Copies of this chain bind each other. A is one copy, B any other.
Amino acid sequence: MLRARGERMTGPRRAVLTVLAEGDEHLSAEAVLDGVTRRESGVHRASVYRTLEALSDLGIVQHIHVGHGGTTYHLVRNGTRHLHAHCRVCGVVRDLPSDLLDGVAEALSRNHQFLLDPGHVALSGTCLGCRRTDS
């Protein structure tokens, strides 16, 4: 697993990283806590949050905001910050190719003086399986 990048490697941190590495991607903070607890009891909720924040700052994990749904975390695999779509009906988060918004990003930059960070929020909608429902 990734080695200390100027930061200390502790039990809780190792556990969080392991859970993220094994997990099915896109875990909520609470889900990470569950996984951590299963692997090594006694780790406190607050430590998980603090660890996730620290790892985010280091660029080792990425967090995305999912509409009504809260925040999810996952490892940044080989430097790729891919995009996400969130189905507001079934709640699934699916990955999208990282270049999907390139055109939009350029348009925003050119016409609206806005620097898009495409990976930071999940696009919202419904997967076809969940067709039409509102909110």
Using a CB–CB cutoff of 8 Å, the interface residues on chain A facing chain B are 57, 65, 67-68, 85, 87-88, 94, 96, 100-101, 103-104, 107-108, 112-118, 120-129, 131-132, 134
Contact = CB atoms under 8 A, between A and B. Distances in A.
Contact of A127 (B68, B113, B120): B113
A85 B128 CA distance: 26
Contact of A67 (B65, B85, B104): B65
A87 B121 CA distance: 12
B113 A124 contact: no
A121 to B, nearest CB: 5
Nearest to A117: B125
Contacts of A104: 100-101, 103-104, 123
